[in-house]
């Protein structure tokens, strides 16, 4: 063959013998022997060569086993560190993903790592973690391309730049160029049958990843899926507990408010702003024919807004919500024409989205709650439902306060009526007991009048001829 011709010519080989190195039925190499003169190897020498070949096979197997064992120990150590991160930081997804990425990049001998997660109804991806010595890309948003979606198993590119034309100026192409990778490996993050995102490792030179490294990255990807799932469960639980705490505090405020509603409004605005991640919440109450801002929280709760009269018309979200007695949701102020709600505080102070919920009782708007955010997109259905529950509780508080005020007013009227009847009875008794003694009667009248009217003094004067003569006084 050409090989042996080259060996004979270049190496000046005349006699040659070789035995294969076999381990567990597989050929792992060969042991060669040469002579520069024509002197064939004997049977004994070939037997010895075979024995040495067996020893070499064991040496190769042992070396591979040692290397595999070393890599296994490294992987076990890395996995133990990842599990520690997951257990110690259940709700801190970024911390866990950063740790997973660092371990994967180190074991797979990569220059850079990224974890991308699908966001915004699966039409974009965000850089959730970035292990890049040259600068962070965490938080960057990219379109979720078809190439991103079509990945259902590890994908390795020998030179990722070759996938894009030189004149391709798409966001994805620019992102890949900015990252600076040549060889790249991508493993999908799949949890509960849903594509959650991708984990990516890259090298700055053309040096393809191996299938063994793909298996290692897959192991880390599985841990990343667990971390994402755990973080979601933990955050759902934490959010649920926070909402329960907020509702408990709100109910306590409602139960103790009686006629002072300020604590109820303050609690509601504060918790609504915190739980829904907004830039502020405002509370307005109906007074005569308009609305007045009485409470607020967050950056939108400017001091100059409080006490302002707001007409019940379509010039503001407050007025429109009260006028039409319905929820109004602005998902992006930039998409709204300038003439729509031109005087809305959220629009004037630079908010990007807003939500107003009226307090309605017996088809009458008692007031309006307004919430805003400095990012477009508005509020989710779950957030709207939560805020509607808060507003319903505030409506109960307002209704209770009005009922208490009416009861107290009625009680006061009844008490005053009873006291007047008692005082009148006392005066009539005094008149009947002293029919000829006007002084005693007048003294009794001024005393009762001063007491019932909470006056410091009272007096009675009588006209006698051209003069007004003092008859009785009470101090």
* DSSP structure string for 304-329: TTTT-EEESSTTSHHHHHHHHTS-EE
Please report whether residue 241 resides in a domain. no
Tell me: do 263 and 327 sit in the same domain: yes
Half-sphere exposure (CA, 13 Å, Cβ side) for 37? 1
If you average pLDDT over residues 123-128, what whole number do you get? Answer: 76
Buried b (16+ CB within 10 A) or exposed e, 77-86: ebbeebeebb
Tell me: do 325 and 291 sit in the same domain: yes
Q: How much is the pLDDT for 199?
A: 93
Half-sphere exposure (CA, 13 Å, Cβ side) for 474? 21
Q: How much is the pLDDT for 425?
A: 77
- Which helix (H) or strand (E) segment holds residue 141: the answer is strand 141-143
The number of distinct structural domains making up the chain is 4
Residue 347 to residue 301: CA distance in whole angstroms: 13
Tell me: do 66 and 98 sit in the same domain: no
User: Looking at the predicted structure, is the pLDDT value of residue 77 above 60?
Assistant: yes
Tell me: do 109 and 67 sit in the same domain: no
Tell me: do 178 and 118 sit in the same domain: yes
Convert the pLDDT of each residue in 200-222 to its tens digit: 998 989 999 988 888 888 888 88
* Last residue in a domain, options 385, 402, 419: 402
Tell me: do 220 and 263 sit in the same domain: no
Tell me: do 168 and 145 sit in the same domain: yes
Range of the domain at 419: 406-474
Decide the pairing of beta strands 280-287 and 194-203: unpaired
In the chain, pLDDT over 90 holds for what percent of residues? 5
Q: What is the CATH number of the domain that holds 137?
A: 3.30.450.40
Please report whether residue 153 resides in a domain. yes
Tell me: do 395 and 410 sit in the same domain: no
DSSP label at 229? Answer: H
DSSP label at 263? Answer: H
User: Looking at the predicted structure, is the pLDDT value of residue 320 above 70?
Assistant: yes
Please report whether residue 144 resides in a domain. yes
Tell me: do 207 and 270 sit in the same domain: no
* Last residue in a domain, options 375, 402, 429: 402
Residue 89 to residue 228: CA distance in whole angstroms: 12
* Last residue in a domain, options 18, 36, 71: 71
User: Looking at the predicted structure, is the pLDDT value of residue 250 above 70?
Assistant: no
Tell me: do 268 and 356 sit in the same domain: yes
Tell me: do 349 and 430 sit in the same domain: no
Convert the pLDDT of each residue in 426-465 to its tens digit: 777 777 777 777 788 888 888 888 887 888 888 888 888 8
Tell me: do 281 and 228 sit in the same domain: no
Please report whether residue 83 resides in a domain. no
């Amino acid at each position: 063959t050409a090989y042996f011709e080259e060996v004979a010519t270049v190496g000046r080989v005349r006699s040659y013998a070789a035995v294969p190195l076999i381990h567990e039925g597989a050929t792992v190499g060969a042991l060669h022997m040469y002579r520069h003169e024509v002197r064939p190897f004997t049977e004994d020498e070939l037997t010895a060569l075979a024995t040495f070949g067996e020893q070499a096979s064991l040496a190769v197997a042992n070396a591979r086993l040692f290397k595999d064992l070393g890599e296994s120990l490294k992987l076990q150590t890395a996995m133990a560190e990842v599990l520690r991160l997951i257990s110690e930081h259940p709700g801190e997804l970024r911390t866990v993903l950063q740790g997973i990425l660092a371990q994967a990049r180190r074991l797979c001998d990569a220059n850079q790592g990224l974890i991308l997660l699908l966001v915004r109804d699966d039409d974009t991806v965000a850089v959730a973690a970035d292990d890049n010595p040259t600068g962070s890309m965490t938080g960057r948003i990219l379109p979720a391309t078809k190439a991103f979606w079509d990945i259902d198993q590890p994908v390795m590119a020998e030179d990722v730049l070759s996938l894009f034309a030189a004149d391709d100026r798409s966001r994805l192409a620019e992102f890949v160029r900015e990252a600076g990778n040549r060889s790249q490996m991508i493993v999908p993050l799949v949890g509960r049958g849903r594509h959650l995102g991708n984990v990516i490792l890259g090298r700055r030179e053309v040096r393809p990843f191996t299938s063994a490294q793909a298996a290692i990255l897959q192991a880390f990807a599985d841990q990343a899926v667990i971390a994402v799932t755990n973080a979601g469960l933990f955050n759902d639980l934490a959010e649920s507990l926070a909402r329960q705490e907020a509702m408990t505090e709100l109910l306590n405020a409602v139960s103790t408010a009686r006629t002072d509603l300020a604590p109820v409004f303050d609690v509601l605005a504060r918790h609504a702003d915190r739980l829904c991640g907004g830039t502020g919440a405002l509370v307005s109450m109906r007074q005569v024919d308009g609305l007045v801002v009485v409470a607020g929280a967050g950056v939108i709760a400017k001091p100059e807004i409080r006490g302002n009269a707001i007409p019940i018309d379509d010039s503001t979200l407050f007025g429109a919500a009260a006028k039409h007695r319905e929820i109004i949701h602005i998902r992006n102020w930039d998409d709204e024409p300038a003439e729509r709600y031109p005087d809305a505080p959220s629009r004037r102070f630079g908010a990007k989205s807003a939500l107003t919920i009226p307090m309605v009782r017996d088809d009458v708007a008692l007031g309006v709650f307004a919430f805003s955010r400095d990012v477009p997109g508005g509020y989710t259905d779950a957030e709207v439902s939560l805020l509607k529950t808060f507003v319903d509780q505030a409506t109960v508080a307002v209704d209770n306060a009005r009922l208490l005020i009416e009861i107290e007013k009625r009680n006061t009227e009844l008490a005053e009526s009873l006291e007047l009847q008692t005082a009148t009875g006392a005066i009539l008794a005094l008149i009947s007991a002293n029919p000829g003694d006007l002084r005693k009667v007048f003294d009794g009248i001024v005393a009762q009048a001063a007491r019932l009217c909470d006056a410091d003094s009272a007096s009675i004067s009588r006209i006698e001829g051209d003069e007004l003569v003092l008859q009785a006084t009470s101090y």
